[in-house]
Chains A and B, each alone.
Chain A
Amino acid sequence: MKKILALLLAAVMLFSLAACGGNNNDTSTPDGSNAAPAEDLKVGFIFLHDENSTYDKNFIDAAVAACKNMGVEMVQKTQIPESNACYDAAVELIEVEDCDIIFADSFGHESFLMKAAEEYPDVEFCHATGTQAHTANLKNFHNAFAHIYEGRYLAGVVAGLKLKEMMAADSTIVPKMGYVGAFTFAEVISGYTSFYLGAKSIVPEVTMDVKFTGSWYDETKEKQAAQALIDGGCVLISQHADSMGAPTACEAAKVPNVSYNGSTEAACPNTWLISSRINWIPYFEYMITQVKNGAAIDTDWAGTLENGAVALTDLGAAAAEGTAEKLADVKAKLIAKEINVFDTANFTVGGKKLDSYLADVDTDADFTKDTEAIENGVFYESKHRSGPYFDIEIGGITLLDRNYG
C-alpha cells in the first residue's frame, strides 16, 4: 500500500510541477498573441447556441469573416441562455477580455444586454433582432436587423415562376403554396406575406396555406406540418423554421421547396429552388468601422439588398427556366424602389385595400399599436425600427392554425 501511495504522490507532484512550470513559462512570455495592444479593437460575441444551430452558425461564420476582414480580434461566448447569463457573459467579455464592442444574437438577450450597457457606457453594445434600442435612451446600445422581407419576396418570385412552369406543363394544377412557420408573430408573418406577394406578382391567382409549429427547431413537427400541407393540395412549400424537416419532406414527396438560412441542395437536390438569408458581415464590418473611427453606430440599422445584408443563394437545379434573368430584374427594381414589397395596391385585408395601419413598434407590456406604418400607399416595414412589425393577415393566405409560443 505504501508503495502505491508513494507512486501516486510522486505522480501528483510531477503533474503539479508540470503545471507550475507551464504557468511560469506563460507569465514570462506575456502571451504575444493574446494580449493585443490597447489601441487594437476587440469584439466580443454572445451566441445563444453554437455552430450546430443554423441560426447561430449564420452569425458565427459572419463574425469570423468580418473580424478577419477588418483585422480585429474576436472573442466568443457560446451557449449563452436568454437570462442573466447574458449579462454575466458581457461583463466577462469586458472585464476579462477587454472587448470594446459586444454583440448578442438572440431576441431574449436584449434586456440583459441593456443592463450591461447601462453599467459600461464606454463599451458599444449591438444586438440583432431586438426592438428596444429606439426607446431605451442608451447611447451605446443599438439594434440591427435586415429587410429580409425583400429577400423573401425575391424567393417568392422564384416560387411563382416555378408554379407557372408547373401549370404550363399540367393544366390541372391549382396554384396553392404551403408555408411552415415557427410562431404567429410579426417576424414570421412579415416573412411569409412577402414570400406570398413575390409569388403573386408572377401568378396572380396563387393562394397559400400556413401552419405553425410553435418552435424554432423541431424537425419532426416541421416535417409533419410540411406533409400535412402537401396532403392538403399544396404544390410548393417554403418555411421559416431552422431544421431540415420541411425540405426533406418535400424531397420525399417531390414537391419544390424554397428554404431559408442557406442552401439545402445537398439533402434535396431535386426539389430545392433557392434560399434567402441575412448576411451579417456588412453589419459587423459597419459596427467595427464606426468604432474604429470614433463615429456613432445607428440606433437601428437595417440591412438591405443593396448593402448585401439581404442575400440569396444561387438557384437550385429545380428552378424554372429564365428565373435568373427575372430575378436580377426584380432585384434591381426593389433596390431602385420601383417595386415596394408591401405596396397596398397588391393585397387586400378583408377584401378591402388598406389605407392606414397602426403597428406595434414600441415595446410595452400591452402590445399597444402606436405607429402609423402606411405612407403613400406603402406599408413601410423595418422603417421605424429594424425588427419587423408587419403582422397583418392578408387575403389569399389561410392560417390553418396559430401558435403564439
Chain B
Amino acid sequence: MRKTTTVKHREPLIHIAKRDDMAAWQAWLIRLAAILIGFFVMSAVLTALASTSSGKDLSFGDILERLSRSVFGRLFEGKFSQLWKFLQETAVLLCLSLAVTPAFKMKFWNCGAEGQALFGGLAAMFCMINLGGKVPEPVLVPLVILASIIGGAVWGVIPAIFHAYYRTNETLFTLMMNYVATQIVAYYVYANGQGSNVINPVSTGALPVIGGQQYLLNVLIVTLLTVLTYVYLRFSKQGYEVSVVGESQNTARYIGINVKKVIIRTMIISGALCGIAGMLLVAGKDHSINTATVGGQGFTAIMVSWLGQFNPYIIAAMAALVSFLQIGAAGAADAYFLNSAYADVMVGVVVLCLVACEFFIRYTVKFRHSKKGGALA
C-alpha cells in the first residue's frame, strides 16, 4: 500500500527564493547596471528614431554627444548657461523630493507636493506684487520667503489635520488639494493678468542674484536643505518619531508618541519645504506665476523620493539622474524633430529598469538541478 501511494515529488524547474544576504555595494552595483541598461537601450532606440526623422545617418555616439550637449552645453568652451539650467532643474526637483520624504517615511502618502509648491509660490507672488515698492527690499525678500513657507505649510497641514482627527484618506485629499491650488492660481492670474492670462515678471521681492548667476542662490539653498533634512531624519528625536510612526502607529502610541501631533508636525515640514520649492520657482526663477509653474515636478518628486529610498543624499543623485534624462532627451528630441514625449518615455523606461532590478536584489532564482541552489539572475 505504502509504495503505491508515494508520489514522487518533483522539484519545479525554477523557483524563487527570498534573499537578504546581499551587501549594500552589490545591490547598488545591480541598480547602476539597471540604470545603464535602460539608458543605453533607450539611447539606441533614440538613435534609430532620430536617424529616421532627421534623415541623417546618426551613430550612437552622436546621440550621446547630443544628450550631454543638451544638458551641459559647451562647458569646455567656458559656457556655463546650460549647466546652471540643469542644476536649477535638479535643485527644484530635489527640494520637492526632500519635501515629500518625511511624510513618506511616516507612511503618509503626500501626493500634494505640486499643489503645496504652487500655493507657496502664489504666496510669494502675492507679496512680490502687493508689497513691492511699499516695503524696502531687505525686508521684502525675507517676507516673500516666509510667506511661501507658510503658504506651503498651510496647504500641507489641512489634509494632515483631517487625516489625524477624522481618518480621511490622505492620498485622495492631498491629490484634490492640487486641483484647488491650481484653480486658485488660475483665478489669481486672471485677476492680475494683463489681457491674456499672463502676469508680467515682477522684479520687486525677487531672490538676490549672487555671484552674477541667477540660479546659484537656489542651488545653495537646496544643498543646505538636503543636509538639514538628512540630519533631521537621521539624528533628531523628531526624525526618530517619524520612523516609528511609519513602522507602526500602535508601537508609537505604546511608547508614548503623540501620533496626531507627529503627523501634523511632519506635514507642516513637508508642506513648508514644498513652499520653498515654489518660492525658488517664483522668486528665484520666473518672477511670475501661472498654473504650469511647478510643471508636474511635484509628481515626479514622489518617484524620486522612492528611488532614493528616503535617503536625502541618494535622492539628490536620483534627482540629478531624472533631470539629466528629462533635459537631455527633450533636447535630443527637439534636435532631431522627434516628439518631445520621447523624453517622458526615456525617463519612464530607465525608472522601470531601476524598479524592476529590485527583484534581483530581494530574490534569488534557483534552478532544479543546481545542487548548491546558486542564484542565476
A and B together in one complex: yes
> A residues within 8 Å of B by Cβ?
1, 4-5, 8-9, 11-12, 15, 18-19, 21-26, 31, 33, 50-52, 75-79, 81-84, 88, 91-92, 95-96, 107-108, 110-112, 115, 131, 183, 185-187, 363-365, 367, 404-405
| Interface pair B190/A19, CB less than 8 Å apart | no
A404 CB, min distance to chain B CBs, angstroms: 6
Alpha-carbon distance between A15 and B32 when the two chains are bound, in angstroms: 13
| Interface pair A95/B73, CB less than 8 Å apart | yes
B345 CB, min distance to chain A CBs, angstroms: 14
User: Could you name 13 residue pairs across A and B whose Cβ atoms are closer than 8 Å?
Assistant: A5-B29, A8-B29, A18-B40, A19-B40, A31-B62, A52-B339, A79-B330, A79-B340, A82-B290, A96-B69, A183-B197, A365-B194, A405-B189
A99 CB, min distance to chain B CBs, angstroms: 13
Is B61 in contact with chain A by the CB < 8 A criterion? Answer: yes
Alpha-carbon distance between A110 and B195 when the two chains are bound, in angstroms: 13
| Interface pair B339/A51, CB less than 8 Å apart | yes
Alpha-carbon distance between A5 and B335 when the two chains are bound, in angstroms: 37
With A83-B290, A83-B292, A404-B190: A8-B196 Cβ-Cβ less than 8 Å: no
Residue of B nearest to A109 (CB): B198
B324 CB, min distance to chain A CBs, angstroms: 14
Pick the 8 closest A-B CB pairs, nearest first: A22-B61, A108-B198, A83-B286, A84-B286, A405-B190, A405-B197, A8-B33, A26-B61
Chain B residues near A88 (CB-CB < 8 A): 81, 85
Chain B residues near A77 (CB-CB < 8 A): 334
Is B193 in contact with chain A by the CB < 8 A criterion? Answer: yes
Alpha-carbon distance between A19 and B60 when the two chains are bound, in angstroms: 7
Chain A residues near B62 (CB-CB < 8 A): 22, 26, 31
Chain B residues near A363 (CB-CB < 8 A): 194-195
| Interface pair B82/A183, CB less than 8 Å apart | no
| Interface pair A92/B81, CB less than 8 Å apart | yes
Chain A residues near B79 (CB-CB < 8 A): 95-96
Alpha-carbon distance between A33 and B57 when the two chains are bound, in angstroms: 10
| Interface pair B30/A8, CB less than 8 Å apart | yes
Partner of A111, one of B29, B74, B288: B288
| Interface pair A96/B33, CB less than 8 Å apart | no
| Interface pair A11/B195, CB less than 8 Å apart | no
Alpha-carbon distance between A81 and B198 when the two chains are bound, in angstroms: 11
With A26-B62, A77-B334, A81-B295: A185-B201 Cβ-Cβ less than 8 Å: no
| Interface pair A96/B73, CB less than 8 Å apart | yes
Is B36 in contact with chain A by the CB < 8 A criterion? Answer: yes
B23 CB, min distance to chain A CBs, angstroms: 10
Alpha-carbon distance between A81 and B340 when the two chains are bound, in angstroms: 13
Residue of A nearest to B43 (CB): A19
| Interface pair B337/A76, CB less than 8 Å apart | yes
| Interface pair B196/A187, CB less than 8 Å apart | yes
Alpha-carbon distance between A83 and B30 when the two chains are bound, in angstroms: 39
Alpha-carbon distance between A91 and B196 when the two chains are bound, in angstroms: 25
Residue of B nearest to A15 (CB): B40
Partner of A81, one of B85, B201, B292: B292
| Interface pair B335/A75, CB less than 8 Å apart | yes
Is B174 in contact with chain A by the CB < 8 A criterion? Answer: no
| Interface pair B196/A107, CB less than 8 Å apart | yes
| Interface pair A83/B330, CB less than 8 Å apart | no
Is B97 in contact with chain A by the CB < 8 A criterion? Answer: no
| Interface pair B196/A405, CB less than 8 Å apart | yes
| Interface pair B61/A83, CB less than 8 Å apart | no
Alpha-carbon distance between A183 and B59 when the two chains are bound, in angstroms: 48
| Interface pair A12/B197, CB less than 8 Å apart | no
Alpha-carbon distance between A185 and B193 when the two chains are bound, in angstroms: 12
Q: List which B184-220 residues lie within 8 A (CB) of chain A.
A: 189-190, 193-198, 200-201
Chain B residues near A19 (CB-CB < 8 A): 40, 60-61, 64
Query: Beta-carbon contacts of B337-349 to A below 8 Å, as 1s and 0s?
Result: 1011000000000
Chain B residues near A115 (CB-CB < 8 A): 201
Chain A residues near B197 (CB-CB < 8 A): 108, 183, 405
A120 CB, min distance to chain B CBs, angstroms: 11
Alpha-carbon distance between A88 and B73 when the two chains are bound, in angstroms: 12
**Beyond A15-B40, A31-B62, A83-B292, 4 additional pairs, beta carbon < 8 A:** A5-B29, A81-B290, A92-B73, A111-B198
| Interface pair A12/B85, CB less than 8 Å apart | no
A47 CB, min distance to chain B CBs, angstroms: 9
Chain B residues near A79 (CB-CB < 8 A): 330, 340
Alpha-carbon distance between A19 and B288 when the two chains are bound, in angstroms: 41
| Interface pair B375/A1, CB less than 8 Å apart | yes
Query: Beta-carbon contacts of B131-169 to A below 8 Å, as 1s and 0s?
Result: 000000000000000000000000000000000000000
B21 CB, min distance to chain A CBs, angstroms: 9
Alpha-carbon distance between A186 and B195 when the two chains are bound, in angstroms: 9
Alpha-carbon distance between A38 and B277 when the two chains are bound, in angstroms: 41
Alpha-carbon distance between A166 and B112 when the two chains are bound, in angstroms: 55
Alpha-carbon distance between A35 and B109 when the two chains are bound, in angstroms: 49
Query: Beta-carbon contacts of B365-377 to A below 8 Å, as 1s and 0s?
Result: 0000000001111
